[in-house]
Amino acid sequence: MSTDTDTDGPNEADARERLIDLAAEFYDQFAEGEVPTMAIPTRTKSNIEYDEDKDVWVYGDRQSTRSAKTVSGAQKLLKATYVIDFLAQQLEQDRSSTLRELYYLSESFDHEEAQFNSQDESNQLIEDLEIVSDVRREEFHMRPEESGATVMGPLLIREQTRRGEREIHCQEDVGEGGYQIPNNPDTIEFLENDADFVLCVETGGMRDRLVENGFDEEYNCIVVHLKGQPARATRRLTKRLRDELGLPVTVFTDGDPWSYRIYGSVAYGSIKSAHLSEYLATPDAQFIGIQPADIVEYDLPTDPLSDSDVNALESELEDPRFQTDYWREQIELQLDIDKKAEQQSLASRGLDFVTETYLPERLDEMTVI
Active-site residue numbers?
Answer: 104
Evaluate whether 128 touches 80 at the Cβ level (below 8 Å): yes
Q: How far apart are alpha carbons 292 and 55 in whole angstroms?
A: 27
Find the angle CA(76)-CA(77)-CA(82) to the nearest 5 degrees.
100
Calpha distance 63→65 (Å, rounded): 7
Q: How far apart are CA 311 and CA 318, in angstroms?
A: 11
Our CA dihedral for 344, 177, 269, 44, rounded to 10 degrees, sits at: 80
The answer to whether the CB of 284 falls within 8 A of the CB of 56 is no
Task: Please name every residue paired with 40 in a beta bridge, in sequence order, or none if there are none.
Answer: 64
Could you count the other beta carbons within 10 Å of the beta carbon of residue 257? Answer: 24
Q: Where are the alpha helices (DSSP H) in 93-144?
A: 99-105, 119-133
